[in-house]
Structure 1
């Protein structure tokens, strides 16, 4: 997967110390957002949500995805075929767990969101699946 967002800028726009992040986030949120953890499949708040609105980063509030790009992938996590703004996320090579994946990171605060996969055959305009942890997101319903 080629992206102009394969690098991480040296300093995110929103910065906190580790102890400040721990104070701001619950232990579960911290484990996913700041330590690149993964929530269990099929338990997240937004896995099956069809509410129209905007999904923002739980850590910093940056707009990341819109419900118009969300689709049902049956993978256990919310799936989107494109970020709300192509500059909202950074894509980073991830070779943990002995496989090649592409990590999705919030550009504004560098929090871990999930991973993006392509070529899986979903009927979406981009042939990509941004597999995002519900705990990394906050949904603001459309008015």
Structure 2
């Protein structure tokens, strides 16, 4: 019984994959709204700029200007303690105000702030030993 169920699941996934793949004869074809995956997928192709792009996804600037952050980046969801969320929001507001005052341009949370937080957090943790990680975990509030 479990084998039948797993085979049906494999077949259903195969059908969805085939349905979601754009027709190669029509380069402008985009998947219909109902056939788009509900979760962000890992990029596996590169676009005209040589950057990772989602399969079947074309990057188009919004209003002739900058592209949507949703088209450029992969959505990621995190669970934080309320105190961490408050600190993150506070830091964003302070940095945003300072940046926008100094340069007279937007400091976007999803396009600028979150990638900076992650990049510098990764840099700080890169090369940490298991013992160092344990110490950092123990220091969390």
Regarding TM over 0.5, the answer is no
TM superposition score category, shorter chain reference: under 0.3
Select the structure with the greater relative contact order (CA < 8 A; seq sep ≥ 6). 1
Q: Is the helix fraction higher in 1 or 2?
A: 2
Normalised to the residue count of structure 2, the TM-score between the two structures is: 0.25
Rg comparison, structure with higher value: 2
